[in-house]
Amino acid sequence: MRQENRPLVSNGGRGQAVYFFGKNDWRTFEQGAQKEWLVTNGIGGYASGTIINANTRKYHALLTAALNPPGWRMVLLSKLDERFTAGDCTYNLAANEHKSGFSELGFVHLQQVAINPIPTFTYSFGDIFLEKTVFMVHGQNTSVVLYRVLNGAEPGLLTLTPMVNCRGHHFMTSAGEINFTQSKVKGGVMLASREDMPSLLLTCDAGEYIADGKWFNGMFYAAERERGENPYEDLYLPGVFKIPFAAGESKTITVVASTAETGGLDGEELLRAEKNRLKELVTKAGYRDHLARGLVRAADAFIVQRRSTGKKTVIAGYPWFADWGRDAMIALPGLTLVTGRFQEAREILDTFAGHCQKGLLPNAFFDGLADPVFNTVDASLWFVNAVYKYLVYTADLEFVRHNLYDTVKEIIDWYMKGTDYDIVMDQDGLLSAGSPCVQLTWMDAKVDDWVVTPRHGKAVEINALWYNAIRVFNLLSVLLGRDALYADLPDKIKASFQQEFWDESGGYLYDVVTPAGADSSVRPNQLLAASLPYSMLSREQAVLVVRKVWRELYVTYGIRSLSPWDPSYQGVYRGDRLRRDGAYHQGTAWSWLIGPFITAYRRAHNYSADSLTQARLFVAPFRSQLRDHGVGYISEIFDGDEPAFPRGCIAQAWGVAEVLRAYVEDVLEIQPPGRKKIKELEGGKNH
Tell me the per-residue pLDDT of 463-491, one tens digit each, with 9 for 90 and over. 999 999 999 999 999 999 998 889 999 99
Q: Which neighbouring-strand residues pair with 364? A: 324, 373
Can you tell me the mean pLDDT for 128-134?
98
Higher pLDDT among residues 405 and 373, named by residue: 405
pLDDT digits (tens, 9 = 90+) for 257-267: 999 877 678 99
Whether 78 contacts 164, CB under 8 Å = yes
Look at residue 443 in the predicted model and tell me its pLDDT: 92
Q: CA 583, CA 453: separation in Å to the nearest integer? A: 10
Whether 279 contacts 13, CB under 8 Å = yes
Q: Residue 340 region, left (φ>0) first, then alpha (ψ -120 to 50), else beta? A: left
Query: For residue 349, is pLDDT > 60?
Result: yes
Helix-strand-coil split of the chain, %, nearest 5: 35, 30, 35
Q: Which residues contact 40 (CB under 8 A, 6 or more apart)?
A: 46, 47, 136, 300, 301, 304, 318
Give percent above pLDDT 70 in the chain: 97
Give the distance, in angstroms, between the CA of residue 531 and the centroid of all CA atoms in the same chain. Answer: 22
Taking all residues of the chain, what is their mean pLDDT, rounded to a whole number? 93
- What is the three-class DSSP state of 508? strand
Look at residue 8 in the predicted model and tell me its pLDDT: 40
Q: How many CB atoms lie within 10 A of CB 20?
A: 14
Whether 430 contacts 458, CB under 8 Å = yes
Give percent above pLDDT 90 in the chain: 87
Query: For residue 6, is pLDDT > 60?
Result: no
- Residue 15 pLDDT grade (very low, low, confident, very high; cuts 50, 70, 90): very low
- Residue 114 pLDDT grade (very low, low, confident, very high; cuts 50, 70, 90): very high
Query: For residue 13, is pLDDT > 60?
Result: no
Do β-strands 629-630 and 35-40 pair in parallel, antiparallel, or remain unpaired? parallel
Look at residue 3 in the predicted model and tell me its pLDDT: 40
Query: For residue 685, is pLDDT > 80?
Result: no
Q: CA 229, CA 232: separation in Å to the nearest integer? A: 9
The contacts found for 409-418 with CB under 8 angstroms, 24 or more apart, are: 409/473, 410/356, 410/359, 411/356, 411/359, 411/361, 411/380, 411/381, 411/383, 411/384, 411/469, 412/359, 412/384, 412/469, 412/470, 412/473, 412/486, 413/359, 414/358, 414/359, 414/360, 415/359, 415/380, 415/466
- Residue 684 pLDDT grade (very low, low, confident, very high; cuts 50, 70, 90): low
pLDDT digits (tens, 9 = 90+) for 46-105: 999 999 999 999 999 999 999 999 999 999 999 999 999 999 999 999 999 999 988 999
Look at residue 538 in the predicted model and tell me its pLDDT: 97
Determine the Cα angle at 382 with ends 405 and 563, to 5°.
165
- The one-character DSSP state at 236 is E
- Residue 16 pLDDT grade (very low, low, confident, very high; cuts 50, 70, 90): low
Least trusted range by pLDDT, from 447-456, 541-550, 638-647: 447-456
User: Is 286-686 a CATH 1.50.10.10 domain?
Assistant: yes
Query: For residue 135, is pLDDT > 70?
Result: yes
Outline which parts of the chain fall under CATH 1.50.10.10: 286-686
Q: CA 38, CA 118: separation in Å to the nearest integer? A: 8
Amino acid letter for position 328: A
Look at residue 678 in the predicted model and tell me its pLDDT: 86
Which value, to the nearest 10 degrees, does the dihedral of the CA atoms of residues 321, 326, 329, 332 take?
Answer: -30
CA-nearest of 422, 420, 425, 406 to 350 is 406
Q: CA 274, CA 270: separation in Å to the nearest integer? A: 6
Considering Cα of 563, then 567, then 573, then 578, what sign does the dihedral take? negative
Query: For residue 222, is pLDDT > 90?
Result: yes
Look at residue 542 in the predicted model and tell me its pLDDT: 98
Can you tell me the mean pLDDT for 589-606?
98
CA-nearest of 103, 157, 104 to 128 is 157
Give the distance, in angstroms, between the CA of residue 637 and the centroid of all CA atoms in the same chain. Answer: 11
Type and span of the H or E element at 415: helix 405-417
Type and span of the H or E element at 113: strand 110-115
Outline which parts of the chain fall under CATH 2.70.98: 2-276
Look at residue 229 in the predicted model and tell me its pLDDT: 93
Can you tell me the mean pLDDT for 160-185?
95
Look at residue 193 in the predicted model and tell me its pLDDT: 93
For 2-276, the fitting CATH number among 1.10.10, 2.70.98, 1.10.3470, 3.30.70 is 2.70.98
Whether 129 contacts 6, CB under 8 Å = no
Whole-model pTM: value is 0.94
- The one-character DSSP state at 108 is G
Higher pLDDT among residues 332 and 684, named by residue: 332
Q: CA 410, CA 250: separation in Å to the nearest integer? A: 64
Look at residue 110 in the predicted model and tell me its pLDDT: 98
